[in-house]
Structure 1
Amino acid sequence: MRSVSLDALAAFVAVARVGSVTGGADELGLTQSTVSAQLQALERDLGYRVFDRSSRGVTLTTRGRALLARVGGPVDAAVDAVADATGRTASEHTVFLGGPAEFLSTTVLPRLAEWAGPDLDVRVRFGETSDLLSALEASELDLVLSTVQPRIRGVEFAPLVDEQFVLAVPPALVDAFRADPDAVPVVAYGEQLPIIRRYWRSVFDRRPSALRVLATVPDLRVLAELAAGGVGMTVLPTYLADPYLQAGRLVDPVRPAEPPINTLYLARRRSRPGAAPAAEAVAERLQAMLRD
């Protein structure tokens, strides 16, 4: 018999106690497919079946009942010990939140007391949306502010807020831009110009194929400072661009009637109501705050 993982044993114990894979997945905060895969791996490693499966759910085999009697308590203790060591479940009031550094730092976290308050311990992770959604699926995060609509089984989402984008050009380069937009150098968020490309297609109805990129920096706050310093133009969300525009450090020479927008979504694992009260409370407060 090969060694078996703690995750697989924890999945076995959860499913055995509630009598269904779906219920066990809810208890663990995982997707049904993840738990099913863990059970299959466990049975493969043990060399025998632990459940009989039918359209009505699952029931323990004789050997499955014997296994549960032996490992149920130790698995509970091991899971608690790992959680304590990693701080994953420091308390029932702890919520793990992920999202883009710029939006969280400038729009969400300054109002922490408003949406979190003294009754919650919020732990924040910055990162790329794809990485954060993977962490959400793996139960490392409770909530993710996603810049794309999630397409992950077992993850639900709701629109949270629309980001509006503006073209930000240094004042000294505005005349050059008006003469030939493609002649002005660019500071970009990513090598494929994701934000600039969206703006160009929406406003100019073409791809930004002739632009010269001077710097690529995956932080919109840095891009704002580079543009304000005269390095080149960029595209910014209004919550970052407005202070620079109002101070005259940046100029929007286009001002389209319908500026491009990008919707931010609040994503979380699907679970039964009341299963994660702290995460539910944060989700509701964030939605209320950002609707104001």
Structure 2
Amino acid sequence: MDLALLRTFVTVHRAGSFTRAAALLGLSQPAVTSQIRSLERQLGRPLFLRRARGVTPTTVGDELAHKVAPHLDALTEITEAGVDDESAARTLHLAGSPEFTSERVLPALTPLIARGLSVRAAFGPADDLLNGLAAGHHDLAVTTTRPRGDLLAATPLCDEEHVLIAAPCWAARLGGPAVLQVTGLRALDQVPLVEVHESLPLVTRYWSAVFDCAPEASATVVAADLRGVLACVVAGAGLAVLPRYLCARALDSGEVVALLDPPVPPLRTYFLVVRTGTLALPHIARPHEWLLRSAVNW
């Protein structure tokens, strides 16, 4: 049986779509369709059911994928893992949120960059990053969204603690954490909200976890980058919910104050996401492993 046909089959099985598989393989969609039909003729059984959006594997297709995918991945590791230095020097196409990637991920990769790794970083919303990864535009994505299906593989990287902060002038006016533990939302309603989006994603998550309700106020200031949110809070524009890694220096210096200290702070998990099977490639595997090691100290 032709290994090229099996490789195309496994890619379609993982992608759930001839179109996405074609993008990953660098083939045209008709070529992928032709290869799958050829394999189905050889086996005498259908492997996929065509749907309005993508394809669904038949029982035979699932069974074949279960049998051959591990062996194809092992062959990929042998043939592409690289016994030469050239493979280790390939460019890593990295994707993530602008703040976390800039503050955590890229600095952590500096030792590998010093050893010859080239990096191209792209920023954007989690859904766009995962779609780009699935289409082959990125090699590694760092995202708070865990993908579904077999095409993408996710590994937990670290948890991000969220902190409710404001400038010292607002903290003094509110009476500090001890008073806020009692007055709670009534006092916080007096303070303007600074957020990264009109939908209040960070404030809503914090309010739900700590106060068991949704915020009633709308944002006074919306800055599309969390670093802009922090700058506004430092300047006294209002309160915000930010990841601790981003505001740690401002907290230590006293530029901002944590308004509350809940016993169980809200957390959000980051994942390292790759296309299934690509950790056989050194220019992806090494940064992946390096980031997992680095995150222990985050």
Band the TM-score falls in, shorter-chain normalisation: 0.7 to 0.9
Residues 224 and 96 of structure 1: is their aligned pair in 2 closer, same or farther, counting only changes over 3 Å? same
Match of 1:112 among 104, 109, 118: 109
Alignment correspondent of 2:5:
19
Alignment correspondent of 1:288:
293
Superimposed CA distance per residue, residues 68-95 of structure 1 (whole angstroms, 9 cap, x where no aligned partner): xxxxxxxxxxxxxxxxxxxxxx996211
Q: Percent identity?
A: 30
Alignment correspondent of 1:69:
none
Counterparts of 2:89 and 2:236 in 1: how far apart (Å)? Answer: 49
Question: Mind listing any 5+ residue stretches in structure 2 that lack a counterpart?
Answer: 46-86, 175-179
Alignment correspondent of 2:16:
33
Alignment correspondent of 1:42:
30
Residues 51 and 23 of structure 1: is their aligned pair in 2 closer, same or farther, counting only changes over 3 Å? closer
Question: Mind listing any 5+ residue stretches in structure 1 that lack a counterpart?
Answer: 1-14, 59-89
Residues 273 and 118 of structure 1: is their aligned pair in 2 closer, same or farther, counting only changes over 3 Å? closer
Match of 1:53 among 40, 51, 57: 40
RMSD: 3.3
Q: Is the 8 A contact 2:193 2:238 kept in 1?
A: yes
Matches within 5 A, 1:5-16: none
Matched letter for residue 241 of structure 1 = C
Counterparts of 1:206 and 1:187 in 2: how far apart (Å)? Answer: 18
Counterparts of 2:173 and 2:44 in 1: how far apart (Å)? Answer: 68
Q: Is the 8 A contact 2:191 2:238 kept in 1?
A: yes
Instruction: Give the TM-score normalised by the residue count of structure 1.
Output: 0.73
* Misfit runs of 4+, over 3 Å: 21-24, 34-41, 43-46, 54-58, 175-179
Matched letter for residue 202 of structure 2 = I
Q: Say which SS state the counterpart of residue 232 (structure 1) adopts.
A: coil
Residues 55 and 183 of structure 1: is their aligned pair in 2 closer, same or farther, counting only changes over 3 Å? farther
Instruction: Give the TM-score normalised by the residue count of structure 2.
Output: 0.71
Give how far 1:257 is off: 1.6
Q: Is the 8 A contact 1:189 1:223 kept in 2?
A: yes
Report how many residues are paired: 242
Counterparts of 2:171 and 2:44 in 1: how far apart (Å)? Answer: 67
Q: Is the 8 A contact 1:21 1:32 kept in 2?
A: no
Match of 2:190 among 183, 199, 204: 183
